[in-house]
C-alpha cells in the first residue's frame, strides 16, 4: 500500500511540499549527549512564523495502528519535545479504523494526522474523516479460560466497550454465575459518539434474558464465560466466531496456565471448529530486562504445535497486542464502592488511557487475523 519504495523518496516529496507551502524544513540534529543518537521521535522539523512542528513520516506497507499514534503522543510530552508547538504524523498508507477512533477520542490538539495521496498532504481533522465503521453482521465473541482471576470479566467488558467506541452497539452476556458484570455495569453503559453522533451502547444481559432467536439490535455479542466449561450453554459456544483466551505471563503460572489453556481449547473445538481462538496476554508489563520476552518465547514454544495443527488458533504476540497492566483496570469496579455511576476504565488519566489504546488495538488485530468476509457467508 505504501506509495514509495524508499522512505527517503517519501521524505523528499514531503520536504518539497512543505517548502512550497512556505515552511522552513530541517532534519533533526544528531546532537545526542555522549555521542549517542537522539531518540527518533520525529523525522523532520518545520518552522513557519511561531509554529515549530515535529513531523513524523510513516511510509509503511500497512495502515498506521493505535500504538504508533500513542507513541507519537508520548514523544510530544517529553521534555525534549517541549519546544514543538505541534506534531504532524504523515503517512502514505492510511490509518486503521481503531487508530482513527483512538485519535478522535484522545482530543490531543497538539497532534495533527495527515495522509499523503496524489502528491498532496490531506489533513484529517477530528470530524470529517468519515470513519464510518465497516458493516458488521451479528458477531459472537467469547472470553474464556478455565481459571478465575485472569481478567475474563475485565476483558469482556472493555472489549464490548471498544466496539462501542468504534461505532457498534454491543451486548455483553454474563455467563459467570458470580454475575460480576451485572454488579459492575448494571444494565449497561453508553459511550460517547464520534463525529457528533449519538454514541453507542454496551448492554448487559443475563443468560436467562438472552434469546438468540430474537437478539436485540446489536452488532456484536461478547460473552463473559463461566470458568467451568460445561456451565456455558453449548448453543452459545457454537455461535462464537472468536474466542479470546486471556492469560498472564508470570513465571509460576506459565506451565499451569498453559496446561489449562490446552484443555480449554480442546474442549471448545469439540463443539466449535470454526471459531478463531486467540490467546491474549493480560496484565502485561513491558520489562526492560527482557524477562517478558523470555517468558513469551517460552509460552510460544508451548503452543507451537497447536498453532501448526490449527490454523485458526493464535498466540497473540504481546509485543504486538496485549492488555497492559494498568491502574485504571486494576481499580475498575471501584465505582461500586464510591457510589459513582456505572463506567468502563476508559477515562484518561494524565492525558493517557492504556486500556483504551489496548482494546482498540485488539479490535484491529481480530479483524486482521481472521476472515470476516468468510464468516459473513456462514
Ligand atoms: N490489565 C490489568 N491491569 C491491572 N489489573 C487487572 C488487569 N486485568 C485484571 N486486573 C485485576 O484483576 C482482577 C480480576 O480480574 P477479572 O476480570 O475479575 O478476572 P476473571 O473474570 O477471570 O475472574 C480485577 O478485579 C482487576 O483488579
Ligand atoms: Mg469474572
Which of 329, 345, 356, when mutated, tests ligand 1's pocket best, judged by the most ligand atoms within 8 Å of its CB?
Answer: 329
The grid cell for 203 is 448492554
pLDDT bucket at 124, cuts 50 / 70 / 90:
confident
Distance 151 CA to ligand 2 centre (A): 7
Residue 99: CB atoms within 10 Å: 26
Phi, psi of 104 (to 5 degrees): -65, -40
Q: How many CB atoms lie within 10 A of CB 177?
A: 11
Label the pairing between strands 139-143 and 220-224: parallel
The 3-state DSSP class for residue 7 equals helix
Mean pLDDT for 336-361 is 92
**7-124 and 139-377: identical CATH topology:** no
Residue to mutate, 246, 330, 358, ligand 1, most ligand atoms under 8 Å from C-beta: 330
* pLDDT confidence bin for 373, thresholds 50/70/90: very low
- What residues does each domain of the chain span? 7-124, 139-377
SS3 of 98, please? helix
| Res 109: pLDDT | 87
Ligand nearest to the CA of 175: 2
Does ligand 1 have an atom closer than 6 angstroms to the CB of 318? Answer: no
The cell for 206 is 443475563
> What DSSP state is assigned to residue 321?
S
pLDDT at 322: 97
SS3 361: helix
Find the angle CA(104)-CA(109)-CA(113) to the nearest 5 degrees: 60
Give Cβ neighbours of residue 266 (< 8 Å, ≥ 6 apart): none
Residue 219 burial (CB count, 10 A): 19
What are the distances in angstroms from CA 318 to CA 74, 201, 257, 349? 20, 28, 16, 23
Q: What is the CATH number of domain 7-124?
A: 3.40.1350.10
Domain 139-377: assigned CATH number: 3.40.50.300
Tens of pLDDT, residue by residue over 250-301, are 888 887 788 888 888 998 999 999 999 999 999 999 888 899 999 999 999 9
Amino acid at each position: 500500500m505504501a506509495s514509495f519504495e524508499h522512505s527517503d523518496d517519501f521524505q523528499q516529496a514531503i520536504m518539497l511540499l512543505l517548502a512550497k507551502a512556505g515552511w522552513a524544513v530541517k532534519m533533526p540534529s544528531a546532537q545526542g549527549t555522549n555521542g549517542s543518537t537522539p531518540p527518533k521521535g520525529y523525522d523532520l522539523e518545520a518552522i513557519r512564523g511561531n509554529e515549530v512542528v515535529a513531523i513524523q513520516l510513516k511510509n509503511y506497507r500497512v495502515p498506521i495502528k493505535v500504538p504508533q499514534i500513542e507513541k507519537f503522543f508520548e514523544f510530544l510530552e517529553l521534555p525534549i519535545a517541549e519546544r514543538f508547538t505541534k506534531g504532524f504524523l504523515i503517512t502514505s498508507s492510511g490509518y486503521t479504523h481503531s487508530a482513527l477512533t483512538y485519535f478522535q477520542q484522545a482530543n490531543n490538539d497538539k497532534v495533527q494526522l495527515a495522509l499523503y495521496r496524489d502528491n498532496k498532504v490531506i489533513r484529517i481533522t477530528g470530524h470529517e474523516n468519515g470513519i464510518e465503521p465497516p458493516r458488521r453482521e451479528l458477531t459472537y465473541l467469547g472470553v474464556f479460560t478455565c481459571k478465575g482471576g485472569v481478567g475474563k470479566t475485565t476483558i469482556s467488558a472493555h472489549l464490548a466497550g471498544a466496539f462501542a467506541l468504534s461505532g457498534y452497539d454491543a451486548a455483553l452476556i454474563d455467563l459467570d454465575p458470580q454475575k460480576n458484570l451485572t454488579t459492575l455495569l448494571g444494565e449497561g453503559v453508553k459511550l460517547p459518539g464520534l463525529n457528533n453522533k449519538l454514541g453507542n451502547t454496551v448492554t448487559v444481559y443475563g443468560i436467562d434474558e438472552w434469546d438468540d432467536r430474537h437478539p436485540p439490535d446489536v452488532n456484536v455479542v461478547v460473552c463473559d464465560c463461566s470458568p467451568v466449561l460445561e456451565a456455558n450453554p453449548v448453543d452459545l459456544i457454537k455461535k462464537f466466531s472468536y474466542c479470546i483466551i486471556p492469560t498472564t505471563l508470570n513465571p509460576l503460572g506459565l506451565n499451569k496456565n498453559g496446561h489449562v489453556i490446552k484443555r480449554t481449547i480442546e474442549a471448545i473445538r469439540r463443539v466449535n471448529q470454526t471459531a478463531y481462538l486467540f490467546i491474549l496476554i493480560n496484565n502485561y508489563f513491558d520489562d526492560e530486562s527482557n524477562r517478558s520476552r523470555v517468558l513469551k518465547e517460552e509460552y510460544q514454544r508451548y503452543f507451537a504445535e497447536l498453532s501448526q495443527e490449527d490454523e485458526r488458533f493464535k498466540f497473540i504476540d504481546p509485543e504486538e497486542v496485549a492488555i497492559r497492566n494498568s491502574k485504571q483496570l486494576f481499580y475498575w469496579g471501584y465505582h461500586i464502592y464510591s457510589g459513582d455511576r456505572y463506567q468502563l476504565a476508559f477515562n484518561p488519566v494524565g492525558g493517557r488511557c492504556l486500556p483504551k489504546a489496548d482494546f482498540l488495538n485488539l479490535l484491529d488485530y481480530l479483524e486482521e487475523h481472521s476472515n470476516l468476509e468468510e464468516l459473513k457467508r456462514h
